[in-house]
Amino acid sequence: MAKSIASEIIQKYEPIDEVRKAHQMSLEGFTRYMYSSECLLFSQECTKVYQDMTYPLNDYFISSSHNTYLISDQLVGPSDLWGYVSALVKGCRCLEIDCWDGSQDEPVVYHGYTLTSKLLFKTVIQAIRKYAFMTSEYPVVLSLENHCSPSQQEVMADILQTILGESLLSDFLDDFLDRLPSPEALKFKILVKNKKIGTLMETHERRGSDKHGKIEVWEEEEAEADEEDEESKELETRDSFLSRIIQEKEGKALGVTVFKKKKTRKLKIALALSDLVIYTKAEKFRSFQHSRLYQQFNENNSIGESQARKLSKLKVHDFIFHTRKFITRIYPKATRADSSNFNPQEFWNIGCQMVALNFQTPGLPMDLQNGKFLDNGGSGYILKPRFLRDIKSNFNPINATKDSDPITITIRVISGMQLPLNSLSSNKVDTLVTVEVYGVPNDHVRYQTRVIRKNAFSPRWNETFTFVIQVPELALLRFVVENSGYIASNEFLGQYTLPVLCMNKGYRRVPLFSRTGESLEPASLFIYVWYVR
């Protein structure tokens, strides 16, 4: 450390005049310094928006929630405005709203065909308007699961326009008629994601016209055995994928591409609501081939976790090619009635922009979600690594050692400070620390310290772990403090998760958070970190 920096630290944190004037530091001064933000493991650089925010929306990971209105399970739990408020305060940028016909011409929000309670659509939009840009100034996407009749869709459109006003994006931006705008271009804007009739230019030409009572029919394919599944019986190599791309282009030029005709259902869409959809048109996913040939730049797909997991294993090159061009949302499977979550990392690894989780459910998936989106100032938008944006990249998370730029990390877990206690004991907790890496499959590692008996106030481990991370751009580091169980499993005491590339070097303090994401200050770990690339 340079002498000038040391002097600056002494002047800033040393409380005793005589010691400060002697250019020294007392124990009290050192403690103040160690508990300051300057000594945190998380880099100060990453607490600000530092990434280039002028790329198109599809080039970013976007913090997204599933059934945002629920604060408990999916079947009988309450719907509450707090679901929206808490998600927005955490920097979430894509909220889900399930809309149904209500009494007295008032659309309601709830999980249809269940016993969950109902909210007025109007009050949901009012809450979103109030909190939308409290944490982040970048765009919010309202993902409408629309089950309303045309007349109540018109009510929804009127509510959106009246309450959101200028914040609502209701026309294309001048420079973005045929391409997605950037988060920067959409600052302080709220976008509607829903089914849409017609083109952006047709929407533009209808601006200001009376749309009352104007209804269009939307044809949507019935859910059958997925076309993609029929194509995906065996693992595809990158060479066979590229060969098929060339064949598709040649076939399209000759006009000979044929898709099997499927059963369709007809839905009535109010033009007033349809015209509020600009850059986030909901489009049913048919197959990667169909998307490559016909999907428009402003059309987004939502894919269930089970189908997405199957496709990510059998057609990983197809999937990554798809997410380079189109915003793709992944949502939990219907059987997760308890609002449990899947591991989002597997879908970030293939470039899926909106990996929607149940924010109300604590655990590993939400720890990873909260840790990842600490980056870039907690703005809810993180620029995807170049290899997930570049159309020429050969990246495959299953075999990511090729062309990677690995990082070697050494972490010494030195000690703990005032670790959280369980409800049954005082200081008699047997503490241990687990250090985990989540990223591409080959980077997943887990190390564990020995157990320190009956000491939660100041346990000392002084254990060192060294590991190589092949794809640090996608990797998250997680520290978990537990109470060792003799018979039962270990008891969770606290955790901290952050992106690997947001770590400071040197002696650092790791703050701990509860299972529900609340700060447990002053509980923390004291560690030493070094890495080389």
Q: Which residues are catalytic?
A: 66, 111
The CA-to-CA distance between both ends of the chain, in Å, stands at 21
Give the SS3 label for residue 72: coil
| 54/179 Cα distance (integer angstroms) | 13
DSSP letter, residue 223: P
| 57/184 Cα distance (integer angstroms) | 9
In whole angstroms, how far apart are CA 330 and each of 195, 289, 323, 366, 514?
Answer: 17, 19, 11, 15, 26
The answer to whether residues 179 and 56 touch, using CB atoms and an 8 Å cutoff, is yes
Helices (runs of H) and strands (runs of E) counted in the chain:
15, 21
Phi, psi of 526 (to 5 degrees): -115, 120
| 439/172 Cα distance (integer angstroms) | 36
Stated as kind and residue range, the H or E segment containing 193 is strand 190-193
| 433/423 Cα distance (integer angstroms) | 19
Short-list 390, 401, 472, CA closest to 439: 472
**How many Cα atoms occupy the beta-carbon half-sphere of 329 within 13 Å?**
29
How does strand 299-304 pair with strand 328-331? parallel
The answer to whether residues 358 and 67 touch, using CB atoms and an 8 Å cutoff, is yes
Short-list 67, 72, 100, 98, CA closest to 84: 67
- The amino acid at residue 315 is K
Place of tokens 């980056």: 375
> How many residues does the structure list for the chain?
533
What's the token pair of residue 98? 């399930």
Torsion angle in degrees (nearest 10) through CA of 502, 503, 508, 514: 60
Torsion angle in degrees (nearest 10) through CA of 524, 448, 400, 333: -80
Give the SS3 label for residue 462: strand
Maximum C-alpha span of the chain: 86
